[in-house]
Structure 1
Amino acid sequence: MSVLNPFRLRARRDNGASSSIKVKARGGGARSRGRLMLAMGVVFAVYGAIGARLVQLGMTGEPVVNLPQSRPTASRPDILDRNGLVMATDIKTASLFAEPRRIVDIDEAIEKLQTVLPDLDYDSTYRKLNSQAGFVWLRRQLSPRQQADILALGIPGLGFRTEKRRFYPGGPTASHILGLVNIDNQGIAGIEKYIDDQGLADLQALGLAGPDTLEPVRLSIDLRAQHVLRDELEAALERYHAVAAAGTIINARTGEVVAMASLPDYDPNNPFNALEKDRLNRVSAGVFEMGSTFKLFTTAMALDSGKVNLNSSFDASKPLRIGGFTINDFHGKRRVLTVPEIFIYSSNIGTAKMAEVVGVEGHRAFLKKVGLLDRMKIELPEVATPTEPKEWKRLHSITISYGHGVATTPLQTAVAAAAMVNGGKLIPPTFLPRTEEEAREIAQQVISPETSAKIRYLFRLNVEKGSGSRAEAPGYFVGGKTGTAEKVVNGRYSNNKRFNAFIAAFPTNDPEYVVAIVIDEPQPERPGIGATSGLNAAPVAGNVIRRTAAMLGVKPDFGQENSAVLVSYQ
C-alpha cells in the first residue's frame, strides 16, 4: 500500500481549483459582452431616433402664422407746397406683434413690456396673449428707441413688422389743409382723403402703388405764408382772448388758396384731439353770419345794377322800422350819406336802402351768382353748405344786406370778394396749382369791370378813412372791409358775443391777393376800448400782409400817392 505524498495531493487540489476558476471566467465574459452590445444598441437607437427627428424637423417648414405682409400698397405720395417744400411724406416704422402660442409666461411678458410701453393696457393685452391666435398686434408704429428697448427685453414670441407711417414735418402748421390718415395709412380727411379719392386707394388695392411709382402731389400752398398766417392767428387768440381765429390768403387772379389756417387746430402726427368740436376747420367747414363784410356785396350789387352810382345818396338820419323791427347804425351819423360814406361808416340803414333799390329777387339772385348761397366745390371734403331763409321777404333782404340772415363760409366769402376786386371774375378756389390762363378759362363774369374798379376805390378809401385803417401796410396799397356780427345765442342775437371779420385786398390798384381774417368772440385788447372788427381782425390782416407780401412776390411801392383814386378798369 503506497503512501500518498501530502504535498502532491495539495498540488492536485490546487490544480483542480485553478481549472474550475478558469471555466467560470469564460462564462462571465460572454454575458458582459451581451450587456455591452445591448447598451450600445440602445444608445444607437436613441441617437438614431434623435437624428431622424432632426432630419424631419429640418425638412418641415415653420407653422403657418398669419403675419401681415410688408404692405407696399400702403405707400402714399409726398405732398409738396408750391415751392417744393415737403408737407407730408412716408417714413418706415416698426410695429410690435406677438405669437401667443410661443409666449412662455404671459404675466412676465406684459410686465416687461410695460417698462417700455407704460400705457399698455394689461387686461386687453392679457386677453390677446392668452388666446390661441397665431398672430396679434400689440402696438403699431413704434419709435426706434421703443423698438430697441423691447428687443433688449428678450421676450420670446414677440416680433416686429416694418410699416409705413405718415409724417408731417410742419406739425400743426397746415393740419386742416393736409388732413389725416388712419393707422393703415389711408386718407380720412383733407388733401390726404382727396388723394385717395383720385385713385390712390384703387392703386393700393391692386398693389400698384409703390414708393417708386407715385409722383409727389404739389399744392398751391406757400408754406412760408402758411406759417405766417397761423402765427398771426395764434397771437390774435392770446391778444384778444378769443375762442377761435381763422383766415385764408387767396390769389385773386387764379383762385389758388395760398394759405389757410383755423385755430384751435391739431398735430396730424399725434391727432388725439382732432375730432374735438373746437378743432373744426372754420374756413371751409363752418358757416357764419359774416356781418358787415356783406355790405361789400350789397354795394357792388347796387352799383352793378345801374340804379345806384358813387354820387347817389340815401337818408340815414332815422332808424329804419319794418315788421316790428328797428334797423339802426352802430355809430350813426344821423344824416344823408353818399355811397362812399355808407361804405366807410358801415351804415346799416344806408346799405339796407341800397338793397331795396335792387329788390328782394334781384338781391338773392346776385348772392347766388357770386357763389355765396351754394356749397363750394373744392378738393377738401370738409365743406359746409350755406344757410338762407326758406322764403326771402323784404325783412330778410334788408338784414342780409348788412350780413344778418345768411350764414356762409369764410372761404367762399373771400372768393366772392376776390371777384369784386379782380375785374368782376368769379374764379372757383383750388388747393392745386393753377395758371392765370387756366383761371380765365373757367372764370365767370359776375360784375362789370367798371363796377369792380369802383369797389377797389371803396376798399382803399375804407382803409384810408374808415373802419379798416388798422389794416394799413405801407407800400402795399391795402384795401378792405370790416364786419362785426352779433352771434346768435339761444335763438337771439347776443350783445356781448361777436364774430368779427375783415376782408382785405392788396394792392388795390391791381389786386393780386385777398386776405380774409375771422375772430370768434374776441374780447377788448385792454380795458376801456371796444372789440369790433376794426380793432382786432383788421390789424391781424395788416400784420399778415406786411409779413407775406414780399414772400408772395408783391413789390412795395413807396413812390406814388397811396390815396384812393377812382380809375377806369383797363
Structure 2
Amino acid sequence: MAILSVGAETISLDGGRKSRGNLTKARIRWVVAALLLVFATVGGRLIQLGATVTDSTIEGVARDVITASRPPILDRNGLEMAVDIRVPSLFAEPRRIIDVEEAVQKLRTVLPDLDEDWLRKRLTGDKGFVWIKRELTPAIEEKVFQLGIPGLDFVTESKRFYPSGAEASHVLGAVNIDNQGTMGIEKHMDDDSLALLQSVGLARGNDLTPVSLSIDLRVQHAVYEQLVDALARYKAIAAAGVVMDVRTGEILALVSLPDFDPNNPSTLFQDYNGVKNDRFNRITSGIYELGSTFKTITMAGAIDSGKVRITDQFDARFGVRFGRFTIDDFHGKHRILSVPEIYKYSSNIGTIHVMQAMGKDDFRAFLSKIGMDQPVPFELPEMRKPKVPAKFSEIVAATSSFGHGLSVSPLHMVRAVAAFVNDGNMVVPTMYKRSEEEARKTYVPVVSPSTSEEIRYLMRLNALEGSGTRMNKIANGYRVGGKTGTAEKVVGKSYSSDKTLSVFASAFPLDDPRYAMVILVDEPQRENAQSGTTAGWNAGEVTGRIVQRVAPMLGIAPDFSEMLDSELVPPELR
C-alpha cells in the first residue's frame, strides 16, 4: 500500500509539472504572438508612413511659396519703396485637435474677432492644414502659444510693406494675402520673373537682388503734393500727372488721384465721393479727348510733312463749315494767322486748315507713326487701348486736329511730346532704370531734328505769349514750354460746357530738353471769382508749381537770360 501511495503521489507530481509546463509554453506562445503582432503593426505603420507623401501645403499653397520673400523695390536713388517684413500666421491641423470645443473657446480669448461657428468648422474633421488667422503680431503669437492647444502652429511668412503709403500706389500696385502681385509693378515682377523664382524655391530669405525703378521719390512726392493741392484748390473730381526723361524714357513720377493705400489693398475698391471704381490709373488706363494739347501733334506732323512751313499763314476769319455744323474759335481773332499765331492763340480754325494742307490721310498715318492708335509698350499692366478711328472723314479729321473725336491716354501724349523735343526721336517709356545708351537702341525717328527745333520754339512761345503764361510766371527761369487743352466732356450724347477736362503737356528746359510732363485736372472749378476754368488757370499753374519744385532737384538751374529764348526762334522768323 505504501508503495502504491508513493507511486500515486509521484504520478500526481509528474502530472502537475507537465500541466504547468504546458501552461508556461502556451503563455510564451501568446507573448511571442503578441510581440509579433506588435512588431507587425509597427512595421506596417512604418511602411505606411514611408509610402505616404508628406503634406507640404496649406490649403493647396506650397509652404515654399508662402514663406517666399519678394525683392525689395527701390527708387532710382536707392530709397526703399517696398520691402518685406516677416510675420507669423496661425494654422491648424484639425486631425490633431483633441477637444474642438475647448480649442474654440480658448482661441477666441486671444482672437475675439474670429466667428465661433466658422472656427468650430475649421477645427473639425481630419483635414491636413487650414489657415486660422494670417499676418499676426509677435505678441498674439506668444499668447496663442501660451494656450497650449495641440494641433495649432505658426508659419513665418512675408508681408509686403510700402513706406510711402499711397504716394506711389499706382506705380507699385499691391500684393494679395499670399504675397503675389495683383497690379502695378508688383504684378509685372511676378509675370516677368518672380513666379519662376518662387516655383524653384529660390525666392526665400532676404538675399534677393533689389529691383531699382526709374521713379525719383523726391519728384514723386512733389507731384503728389501738388495734385492733392489741385483737388482741393480747384474742387476737381480727379487729377493725374506723369514726368518722363525725354532721352532715356524713364518715368520719374507717376501719380493718379484718387488713389489707394497699397498697405491695405481693399481701399482700391472703396467709393470716392460716391463714385465706384474711380481709383484707376488715369495715366495708363484712362483714355481721354485731350483737347488742344493735340495741336502740338498736328503742327509736328504738318511741318514734318513739308506741306506746311513755320512761316505760312492761314485764313482764320471765318468758321469752318461741315454741313450744318460750323467749327469756330473759343476766343477767335478772326483774321489771317501765321502758324505760330495759330498755336499760341489756340485757333481751331487755323489748326484745321493746317491739317487740311497736310491731308487727312497723311494726318491719320502720322498718328499711327507716333503710336497713337495702339497701347504704349509699358511695364504697368493697367492699360487700355486708345480709341482712334481707323479712317478719317473730313469732319473727324478736323475735330481730331484739335483733340476731339479720338481718345488716348496721358502716357501717349507724354511720349509724343518727349519725341518732339528730343530731336524727333521717340523712346519707349519704362518704369526701370535705363542708361541713355540703352535707351538709344529703342529710338524711333518720328520727325526730323529741324521739325523738333520748330516745335520747341512753338511750345516756348505759348509759355511766353499764349495760354501758358501763368505757368511760366510761376516756373520763371526754367524755360518751360507747352500747350494747354480744355476739352468739354461727353455727358450723355452731347458735349457739356460745364464739365471739362484740363490738360497741360509740357517740356523743360527747352534750350536743352530733358523732361516732358503731362498734368490732368478733371472738372476743375474756379479758384476764385477772378480766375477762369480753362487749363491755363489750373493744369498750367500746377505744372508751374511742380517745375519750380523739381527742377532744382534734377540739377536744372534757373536762367533768366532772354538770349536763351531768342535762340529758340527759327532763323526765318528772327
1:298-377 maps to which residues of 2 (within 5 A)?
298-377=298-377
- For 1:114 and 1:326, the matched residues in 2 are separated by 73
Q: 2:398 corresponds to which residue?
A: 398
- For 1:113 and 1:242, the matched residues in 2 are separated by 48
Q: Which amino acid aligns with 2:482?
A: G
Q: Which amino acid aligns with 1:180?
A: A
Q: Deviation of residue 495 (structure 1)?
A: 1.5
The 8 Å contact of residues 464 and 563 in structure 1, kept in 2 or not, is answered as no
- For 2:414 and 2:86, the matched residues in 1 are separated by 40
Q: Which amino acid aligns with 2:252?
A: V
Q: Deviation of residue 340 (structure 1)?
A: 1.3
Farther off after superposition, 184-193 or 345-354: 184-193
The 8 Å contact of residues 502 and 522 in structure 2, kept in 1 or not, is answered as yes
Query: RMSD in angstroms over aligned alpha carbons?
Result: 2.7
Q: Choose 1 or 2 for highest CA Rg.
A: 1
Q: Deviation of residue 560 (structure 1)?
A: 4.9
Give 5+ residue unaligned stretches, structure 2.
1-37, 271-276
- For 1:328 and 1:396, the matched residues in 2 are separated by 15
Q: 2:30 corresponds to which residue?
A: none
Q: Deviations over 1:263-312 (max 9, x none)?
A: 11111111112245111001011111111100011111122122222222
Residue 524 (1) aligns with residue 526 (2): yes
- For 1:558 and 1:512, the matched residues in 2 are separated by 18
Percent of pairs with identical residues: 51
TM-score (structure 2 length as normaliser):
0.84
Q: Structure 1 pair 121/238, CA: closer, same or farther in 2 (3 Å)?
A: farther
Q: 1:248 corresponds to which residue?
A: 242
1:61-460 maps to which residues of 2 (within 5 A)?
68=58, 70-71=63-64, 74-103=68-97, 106=100, 109-110=103-104, 113-114=107-108, 116-151=110-145, 155-211=149-205, 214-275=208-269, 277-460=277-460
The 8 Å contact of residues 90 and 131 in structure 2, kept in 1 or not, is answered as yes
Q: Deviation of residue 429 (structure 1)?
A: 0.6
- For 2:106 and 2:259, the matched residues in 1 are separated by 36
Partner of residue 515 from structure 1, selected from 493, 497, 517? 517
Please state whether the residue corresponding to 1:462 is helix, strand or coil. Answer: helix
- For 2:74 and 2:320, the matched residues in 1 are separated by 53
Farther off after superposition, 306-315 or 220-229: 306-315
- For 1:111 and 1:351, the matched residues in 2 are separated by 76
Q: 1:10 corresponds to which residue?
A: none
Q: Which amino acid aligns with 1:76?
A: R
Please state whether the residue corresponding to 2:423 is helix, strand or coil. Answer: coil
- For 1:353 and 1:431, the matched residues in 2 are separated by 39
Please state whether the residue corresponding to 1:484 is helix, strand or coil. Answer: strand
Q: Deviation of residue 397 (structure 1)?
A: 0.5
Q: Which amino acid aligns with 2:288?
A: F
Q: Deviations over 1:444-476 (max 9, x none)?
A: 111111111111111111111111112221221
Q: Which amino acid aligns with 2:377?
A: K
Q: Deviation of residue 112 (structure 1)?
A: 5.2
Farther off after superposition, 301-310 or 149-158: 149-158
The 8 Å contact of residues 503 and 520 in structure 2, kept in 1 or not, is answered as yes
Q: Deviation of residue 163 (structure 1)?
A: 0.7
- For 1:244 and 1:117, the matched residues in 2 are separated by 40
Q: Deviation of residue 115 (structure 1)?
A: 5.3
The 8 Å contact of residues 323 and 395 in structure 1, kept in 2 or not, is answered as no
Q: Structure 1 pair 80/559, CA: closer, same or farther in 2 (3 Å)?
A: same
Residue 501 (1) aligns with residue 503 (2): yes
Please state whether the residue corresponding to 2:266 is helix, strand or coil. Answer: coil
Q: Structure 1 pair 66/432, CA: closer, same or farther in 2 (3 Å)?
A: closer
1:463-502 maps to which residues of 2 (within 5 A)?
463-472=463-472, 473-502=475-504
Farther off after superposition, 87-96 or 394-403: 87-96
Farther off after superposition, 487-496 or 537-546: 487-496
- For 2:250 and 2:96, the matched residues in 1 are separated by 57
Q: 2:568 corresponds to which residue?
A: 566
Q: Deviations over 1:476-532 (max 9, x none)?
A: 111111011111122221121111110111111111101110111112222453211
Q: Deviation of residue 124 (structure 1)?
A: 2.5
Q: Deviation of residue 150 (structure 1)?
A: 3.9
The 8 Å contact of residues 511 and 565 in structure 2, kept in 1 or not, is answered as no
- For 1:216 and 1:496, the matched residues in 2 are separated by 48
Q: Structure 1 pair 451/201, CA: closer, same or farther in 2 (3 Å)?
A: same
- For 2:113 and 2:528, the matched residues in 1 are separated by 44
Q: Deviation of residue 66 (structure 1)?
A: 6.1
Q: Structure 1 pair 490/108, CA: closer, same or farther in 2 (3 Å)?
A: farther
TM-score (structure 1 length as normaliser):
0.85
Q: Which amino acid aligns with 1:548?
A: V
Q: Structure 1 pair 148/383, CA: closer, same or farther in 2 (3 Å)?
A: same
Please state whether the residue corresponding to 1:452 is helix, strand or coil. Answer: helix
- For 1:347 and 1:117, the matched residues in 2 are separated by 67
- For 1:109 and 1:306, the matched residues in 2 are separated by 82
Q: Deviation of residue 180 (structure 1)?
A: 1.8
Q: Structure 1 pair 299/170, CA: closer, same or farther in 2 (3 Å)?
A: same
The 8 Å contact of residues 64 and 204 in structure 2, kept in 1 or not, is answered as no
Give 5+ residue unaligned stretches, structure 1.
1-51
Q: Which amino acid aligns with 2:412?
A: Q
- For 1:145 and 1:494, the matched residues in 2 are separated by 57
Q: Which amino acid aligns with 2:203?
A: A
Q: 1:548 corresponds to which residue?
A: 550
Q: Which amino acid aligns with 1:330?
A: F
Q: Which amino acid aligns with 1:162?
A: T
Q: Structure 1 pair 393/65, CA: closer, same or farther in 2 (3 Å)?
A: closer
- For 2:105 and 2:324, the matched residues in 1 are separated by 73
- For 1:235 and 1:111, the matched residues in 2 are separated by 51
Equivalenced residue count is: 516
Farther off after superposition, 187-196 or 343-352: 187-196
The 8 Å contact of residues 457 and 570 in structure 2, kept in 1 or not, is answered as no
